Chain A
Amino acid sequence: MPAGRTVEGTMLGKLDWSAIPFEQPIPLIAGGVVLVGILAVLIWVVVKGHLPYLWHEWITSVDHKRIGVMYILLASVMLLRGGSDAIMMRIQQAIAYQSQGYLPPEHYNQIFSAHGTIMIFFVAMPFVIGLMNLIVPLQLGVRDVAFPTLNSVGFWLTATGALLVNLSLVIGEFARTGWLAFPPLSELSYSPGVGVDYYAWSLQISGVGTLVAGVNLVTTVLKLRTKGMNYLRMPMFCWTTLASNLLIVAAFPILTATLAMLLLDRYLGFHFFTNEAGGNVMMFMNLIWAWGHPEVYILVLPAFGIFSEVVSTFSGKALFGYRSMVLATMAICVIAFMVWLHHFFTMGAGPDVNAIFGIASMIIAVPTGVKIYNWLFTMYGGRIRFTTPMLWAVGFMVTFIIGGLTGVLVAVPPADFMLHNSMFLVAHFHNVIIGGVLFGAFAGFEYWFPKAFGFRLDERWGKLAFWFTFTGFYVTFVPLYVAGMLGMTRRLQHYDVAEWRPWMIVAAIGMAVLSIGVICQIMQLVVSIRNREALRDRTGDPWDGRSLEWATSSPPPVFNFAFHPDVRGEDAYWDMKLSAQQQSLDHEEPEYHDIEMPRNSPTGFVCAFFATIMGFALIWHIWWMVILGGIGAFATFVVFAWRDHDEYVIPAAEVAAIDRVNLEERRNLVSMAGAI
Chain B
Amino acid sequence: MSDQTHMNGEHDIAPGDEEQHSVGERIVGYVVGLGLALLLTATSFFIAGTDLVWQPSIPVALIVLAIAQMGVHLVFFLHITTGPDNTNNVLALAFGLLVVFLVVGGTVWIMGHLNQNMPPMDQFIRMHS
- Whether A349 touches B88, Cβ cut-off 8 Å, given contacts A286-B107, A340-B106, A598-B1, is no
The answer on a CB contact under 8 Å between A349 and B8 is no
The answer on a CB contact under 8 Å between B102 and A337 is yes
The answer on a CB contact under 8 Å between B107 and A287 is yes
The answer on a CB contact under 8 Å between A347 and B106 is no
> Could you tell me the distance between the alpha carbons of A432 and B102 in the complex, rounded to whole angstroms?
25
Q: Does B75 contact A (CB under 8 A)?
A: no
Find the B residue at minimum CB distance from A337: B102
The answer on a CB contact under 8 Å between B110 and A286 is yes
The answer on a CB contact under 8 Å between B114 and A282 is yes
Q: Does B124 contact A (CB under 8 A)?
A: no
> Could you tell me the distance between the alpha carbons of A223 and B98 in the complex, rounded to whole angstroms?
22
> Which chain B residues border A352 with CB–CB below 8 Å?
113
> Which chain B residues border A286 with CB–CB below 8 Å?
107, 110-111
Q: Does B95 contact A (CB under 8 A)?
A: yes
Q: Does A516 contact B (CB under 8 A)?
A: no
The answer on a CB contact under 8 Å between B111 and A350 is no
Find the B residue at minimum CB distance from A289: B110
> Which chain A residues border B117 with CB–CB below 8 Å?
348-350
> Could you tell me the distance between the alpha carbons of A283 and B112 in the complex, rounded to whole angstroms?
11
> Could you tell me the distance between the alpha carbons of A222 and B107 in the complex, rounded to whole angstroms?
31
- One digit per residue, 1 when the CB lies within 8 angstroms of any chain A CB and 0 when it does not, for chain B 51-68 equals 000000000000000000
Q: Does B99 contact A (CB under 8 A)?
A: yes
Return B12 CB to nearest CB of chain A, in Å. Answer: 7
Q: Does A224 contact B (CB under 8 A)?
A: yes
- One digit per residue, 1 when the CB lies within 8 angstroms of any chain A CB and 0 when it does not, for chain B 72-112 equals 00000000000000001000000110110011001101110
Q: Does B118 contact A (CB under 8 A)?
A: yes
Q: Does B4 contact A (CB under 8 A)?
A: yes
The answer on a CB contact under 8 Å between A349 and B2 is no
Return B56 CB to nearest CB of chain A, in Å. Answer: 28
Return A493 CB to nearest CB of chain B, in Å. Answer: 30
> Could you tell me the distance between the alpha carbons of A143 and B88 in the complex, rounded to whole angstroms?
22
The answer on a CB contact under 8 Å between B7 and A348 is no
- One digit per residue, 1 when the CB lies within 8 angstroms of any chain A CB and 0 when it does not, for chain B 1-22 equals 1111101110010100000000
Binds B, one of A225-233, A318-326, A480-488, A499-507: A225-233
The answer on a CB contact under 8 Å between B111 and A143 is no
The answer on a CB contact under 8 Å between A337 and B99 is yes
Partner of A596, one of B2, B14, B102, B115: B2
> Could you tell me the distance between the alpha carbons of A144 and B7 in the complex, rounded to whole angstroms?
13
> Which chain A residues border B96 with CB–CB below 8 Å?
250
Partner of B7, one of A222, A227, A250, A347: A227
- Whether A222 touches B88, Cβ cut-off 8 Å, given contacts A341-B110, A350-B116, is yes
The answer on a CB contact under 8 Å between B3 and A290 is no
Find the A residue at minimum CB distance from B102: A337
> Which chain B residues border A230 with CB–CB below 8 Å?
8
> Could you tell me the distance between the alpha carbons of A283 and B115 in the complex, rounded to whole angstroms?
12
> Could you tell me the distance between the alpha carbons of A351 and B116 in the complex, rounded to whole angstroms?
9
> Which chain A residues border B95 with CB–CB below 8 Å?
246, 250
> Could you tell me the distance between the alpha carbons of A341 and B116 in the complex, rounded to whole angstroms?
15
Find the B residue at minimum CB distance from A335: B102
> Which chain B residues border A150 with CB–CB below 8 Å?
none
Partner of B1, one of A143, A228, A282, A349: A143
The answer on a CB contact under 8 Å between B4 and A250 is no
The answer on a CB contact under 8 Å between A349 and B110 is yes
The answer on a CB contact under 8 Å between B106 and A290 is yes
The answer on a CB contact under 8 Å between B3 and A596 is yes
The answer on a CB contact under 8 Å between B111 and A337 is no
- Whether A347 touches B103, Cβ cut-off 8 Å, given contacts A143-B1, A223-B12, A225-B8, is no
> Could you tell me the distance between the alpha carbons of A337 and B95 in the complex, rounded to whole angstroms?
11
> Could you tell me the distance between the alpha carbons of A246 and B106 in the complex, rounded to whole angstroms?
20
> Which chain B residues border A142 with CB–CB below 8 Å?
4, 7
Find the B residue at minimum CB distance from A346: B117
Find the B residue at minimum CB distance from A597: B1
Partner of A348, one of B14, B103, B107, B114: B114
Q: Does A338 contact B (CB under 8 A)?
A: yes
> Could you tell me the distance between the alpha carbons of A598 and B14 in the complex, rounded to whole angstroms?
19
- One digit per residue, 1 when the CB lies within 8 angstroms of any chain B CB and 0 when it does not, for chain A 350-377 equals 1111000000000000000000000000
- Whether A226 touches B7, Cβ cut-off 8 Å, given contacts A348-B115, A349-B116, A353-B109, is yes
> Which chain A residues border B103 with CB–CB below 8 Å?
254, 290, 337
Partner of B106, one of A338, A348, A598, A647: A338
The answer on a CB contact under 8 Å between B111 and A282 is yes
The answer on a CB contact under 8 Å between A250 and B110 is no
Partner of A224, one of B4, B109, B113: B4
> Which chain B residues border A225 with CB–CB below 8 Å?
7-8
> Which chain A residues border B111 with CB–CB below 8 Å?
280, 282-283, 286
The answer on a CB contact under 8 Å between A290 and B116 is no
Return A152 CB to nearest CB of chain B, in Å. Answer: 15
Q: Which of B2, B4, B96, B117 has the most CB of A within 10 A?
A: B4
Q: Does A383 contact B (CB under 8 A)?
A: no
> Which chain B residues border A350 with CB–CB below 8 Å?
113, 116-117
> Could you tell me the distance between the alpha carbons of A351 and B113 in the complex, rounded to whole angstroms?
9
The answer on a CB contact under 8 Å between A227 and B113 is no
> Could you tell me the distance between the alpha carbons of A143 and B96 in the complex, rounded to whole angstroms?
29
Find the A residue at minimum CB distance from B13: A223
> Could you tell me the distance between the alpha carbons of A319 and B1 in the complex, rounded to whole angstroms?
32
- One digit per residue, 1 when the CB lies within 8 angstroms of any chain B CB and 0 when it does not, for chain A 227-261 equals 11110000000000000001000100010000000
- One digit per residue, 1 when the CB lies within 8 angstroms of any chain B CB and 0 when it does not, for chain A 144-158 equals 101010000000000
The answer on a CB contact under 8 Å between A250 and B114 is no
Partner of A353, one of B2, B99, B110, B118: B110
Find the A residue at minimum CB distance from B1: A144
> Could you tell me the distance between the alpha carbons of A173 and B119 in the complex, rounded to whole angstroms?
39
The answer on a CB contact under 8 Å between A348 and B1 is no
Q: Which of A227, A250, A280 has the most CB of B within 10 A?
A: A250
Q: Does A19 contact B (CB under 8 A)?
A: no
> Which chain A residues border B14 with CB–CB below 8 Å?
223
The answer on a CB contact under 8 Å between B107 and A347 is no
> Which chain B residues border A250 with CB–CB below 8 Å?
95-96, 99
Q: Does A50 contact B (CB under 8 A)?
A: no
Closest 9 CB pairs of A and B: A350-B116, A250-B99, A225-B8, A353-B113, A337-B102, A349-B113, A348-B117, A348-B114, A350-B113
- Could you give 14 example pairs across A and B, Cβ below 8 Å? A146-B1, A222-B88, A224-B1, A227-B9, A229-B8, A246-B95, A250-B95, A282-B111, A290-B106, A337-B98, A337-B103, A349-B114, A564-B4, A596-B3
Give 5 new A-B contacts, CB below 8 A, not counting A287-B107, A337-B102, A596-B1: A223-B8, A228-B9, A230-B8, A282-B111, A351-B116
